[in-house]
Structure 1
Amino acid sequence: MVTGASSGIGEATVRALRAGGWDVVGVARRAERLAALDAEVGSASYAADLSSEADVAALAEHLARTGDVHALVHIAGGARGVDRVEDGKAEDWRWMFEANVLSAQLVTAALLPLLRAGIRAGGDHADTLYVTSTAAQTAYPGGAGYNAAKAGEAMLVHALRLELNGEPIRVTEVAPGMVYTEEFTLNRLGGDTAGAEKVYDGVEQPLVASDVADVISYALNAPGHVNLDLVTMRPVAQSAQHLLARGALRPRD
């Protein structure tokens, strides 16, 4: 099961896993986009709001009826606003907590019994994989709300790995830096197209969604005894959260 499947990294992950032979249930709120993806790649979508307890419970019931579950890939989330702490809007911070942290907790709690059942039915292990962000690792001005939300999600992942010790369930975190997708920055800036494009202006080859999907696919297909605890990935132009080269990359004279 892949969350956030209607666009960006989630959609790319559905495509990558289908290409690798996985049966995939893609989950997001936008049913029409999921249906189009299903028609193209043969996934099986389910529309749900993952911050809703009722929706997540219904999703778990649906999955239990339709087959064994062997992997949870949680990508759904997002950012809203670039306000300083003193100017932060409570509704934006609340949305980011619910979209990034609460959704991860609800989905994990609902899926763990199904993942265990899949192991008992013949699997030798199960996977939980979470896409967080380098924003979980390093703060930056105007990012505190997203920093806090992604750090919260990362702590959930770290605690979960300890709590599942002794079970054949892998817990993986993938933390991308700058990724160019059609919606993430645009949504964060409230639809400001020019502002969103400026973020990536002059950056040679930022990561794209398929780059992250390739890493996710590798992690799920690695030998069952191998756990990639944390994969931090950035474009070469981004050496750190605050250090971004704009312009052509070339060796020094």
Structure 2
Amino acid sequence: MSKFLALGSSQLGGFLKGFRLFDEQLTENFDFAALWETGFGHLNLEPDGYIRAPDLVPKLNNPEKRNLQRAWAIRDAFGNKDLGQVPCIHNYQKIFIVASPCKYFAPFYYAKNSIPSLLSASLLKSCFYSWQVDKQFEAISPWHFRVSPIVRQLTSRCPEKVVFIGAPLPLENLEKGYFEGLRAVLKHDKSLKDIHFHNMESIRCLCRQFHSQSGNSYDVFLPPDELLCDLKLTTRSMYATKSSVWHAGPEYWQKIVAQICKLYVV
């Protein structure tokens, strides 16, 4: 029987809700392991293949003063904790990462207040393997932009197992500091809009290439066009959730899970 690991931050809750709407029985083949975004950034892939959290109580974004090592464990689809067990990469056919920005995330490619330019295939590929995001954002917590070290470790150590999903793009019309400013620029300049569309299509083509060569590179899953605004900058407002600009509702995740299952599970 194939075994899968869903690994992530708070976004993993949405992923699980998507399974419950799509087909909850499929979760029988899944282990789930999550830490909130700050804690997720401290995970480490050990030489023996185990993903472990340190014995640490982080000060940032941790009002309950939770110890990461005690919080980190494999759970099933109902939240039951398998005491003493942490995930090991050797036990899974595929590892789905549901944290850190998805690869349509514009700040990977355009610095704030810059003019979008045409991205070559080699530059796009370097962006896919880069772990830096432009830091000049006054209105957004840097944790929303974090590409966690565990993502880099997994894509380097066992790329053939990794399917990177990432977090949803921010919700349409709600993040004013970067995304809506970029939207306004693209809406008022057709040539820049055309450049941006060319870049987005190049990103999709690169993902197809990764998928066809999944033995040599990690797989990158992009959200379907129907979930995104016309510029692929943000998640459509109809998939909003009350909790955050940076989280999407269950219907969004149901559509993500449907595609994931079609490609990798069923």
With the shorter chain as reference, the TM-score category is 0.3 to 0.5
Q: Which has the higher strand share?
A: 1
Flag the structure with more relative contact order, 1 or 2, with Cα contacts below 8 A and sequence separation at least 6: 2
Q: Which has the higher helix share?
A: 1
Q: Tell me the TM-score normalized by structure 1.
A: 0.44
